[in-house]
Amino acid sequence: MVTAITRAVSPRLNECEITHIERTPIDLEVARLQHRDYVHALEQLSCRVIELPAEPDLPDSVFVEDTALILPEVAVITRPGAGSRRPEGESIMRVLSPLLPLVKIREPATVDGGDVLVLGKRIYVGLSTRSNQAAVDQLNELLSPYGYTVSGIPLEGCLHLKSAVTRVDDETLLINTSWVNRDYFAGYRLIETDPSEPAAANCLPIGNSIIFPTAFPKTRLRLEERGYSIIPVDVSELAKAEGAVTCCSLIIDERP
């Protein structure tokens, strides 16, 4: 069973945090429709979806990925880099506590879940405007009992590590090498984004399929040419808030 935790779009989404792109108006109704289609894609892939209600006073709260790091053994409640986002974790803790043991990141560490890439027992954290070395150190302390090692990786020109690289399968990563150095991922098969689609490195594998944005057809073709089954979703309005397909869910994979 794969469980996906999502949260409805806040009515204040236009007040979201913006770091690396120019702010443009977001059509709230279109964003809600796109999010509904995203949830439907998860359901199509046989996920059990836990839908949380919108948080009227938390503009970025649809991006639940940033609130927690989900591992098979434990969930880490993050401390987001933007202070306005830290209250989002309260409701996430309530929904996760029956499902997994919880540990928490503490001050002065900051980390967004979008900066955390889990590859087996190796965890990489993007050293970004949202996540710092103190978080890497705390994650090593919290997760070493479970056999994990955590390393920080510098980024260039993007919000999160998973803006630059995401897991496709156990052997393969989708990557924009202009934003993160490929040398950190020696031993993996790398599929590079099309040069005209720098933001296309974010994908969400579920089972044998990949949820992927409709905005990046050239990179989608690169995935399909390698045999991957793509479930296309339009997240163009959510992207105006620096959102992507991994951002909108927390995935708990209970399959062996």
Closest to 132 in 3D by CA, of 208, 80, 205: 80
The active-site residue out of 47, 158, 203, 247 is: 247
Closest to 171 in 3D by CA, of 150, 185, 184: 185
The active-site residue out of 158, 160, 203, 248 is: 160
The DSSP code for 177 is T
Count of C-beta atoms within a 10 Å radius of residue 167: 19
Stated as kind and residue range, the H or E segment containing 42 is helix 28-44
Whole-number Å distance between alpha carbons of 249 and 236: 16
Whole-number Å distance between alpha carbons of 187 and 108: 34
Does the active-site annotation cover 160? Answer: yes
Which amino acid, residue 72? P
194 touches 200 (CB < 8 A)? yes
Question: Could you give the residue numbers annotated as active site?
Answer: 160, 247
